[in-house]
Amino acid sequence: EVQLVESGGGLVQPGRSLRLSCAASGFIFNDYAMHWVRQTPGKGLEWVSGISWDSDNIVYADSVKGRFTISRDNAKNSLYLQMNSLRAEDTALYYCAKVWTFKTVFDIWGQGTMVTVSS
């Protein structure tokens, strides 16, 4: 079964850091680019960041550029999101998502991990 399982969310104070993880199974992880997408409670979807299969190409939304770092470990079938200098507006449910080869079509999503930034 193709599956993505996120972890690492929680309550964190503004200005602090958090690292999210996404464990992939059921597909050849190192064949595909991976992304993080977040959703503010009761609101819409916001793309956060993406990384190519070989980590050579990395992109970020302007809202997180310079604060968040995406990475992957293909040997561990895992995707990561290092979030620094967290702000209240980063509070959201964070999904990891797999995309097709050559096209940013999100075909597999995890269940999400909740990040709450509050003092």
Partner 1 sequence: DIQMTQSPSSLSASVGDRVTITCQASQDINNYLNWYQQKPGKAPNLLISDASNLETGVPSRFSGSGSGTYFTFTITSLQPEDVATYYCQQYDNLSVTFGGGTKVKIK
Identify the residue among 110, 113, 115, 117 touching partner 1 (CB under 8 A).
110
Kindly state the smallest distance separating residue 22's Cβ from partner 1, in Å. 12
Query: With binding defined as CB under 8 A, does residue 27 bind partner 1?
Result: no
Between the CA of residue 92 and those of 46, 76, 77, what are the distances in Å? 10, 26, 24
Element of type H or E holding 41: none
Please choose, out of 11-19, 22-30, 57-65, 71-79, the segment that lies near partner 1 by the rule CB under 8 A: 57-65
Q: Which stretch binds partner 1 (CB under 8 A): 12-20, 22-30, 40-48, 72-80?
A: 40-48
Q: Is 30 exposed, middle or buried (0-12, 13-18, 19+ CB in 10 A)?
A: middle
* Cα atoms in the 13 Å half-sphere on the side-chain side of 39: 14
Residue 1 or 103 having the CB closest to partner 1 = 103
Residues paired with residue 96 on neighbouring β-strands, in sequence order: 36
DSSP 7: E
Give residues in contact with partner 1 (CB under 8 A): 35, 37, 44-47, 50, 57, 59, 62, 95, 100, 103-107, 109-112
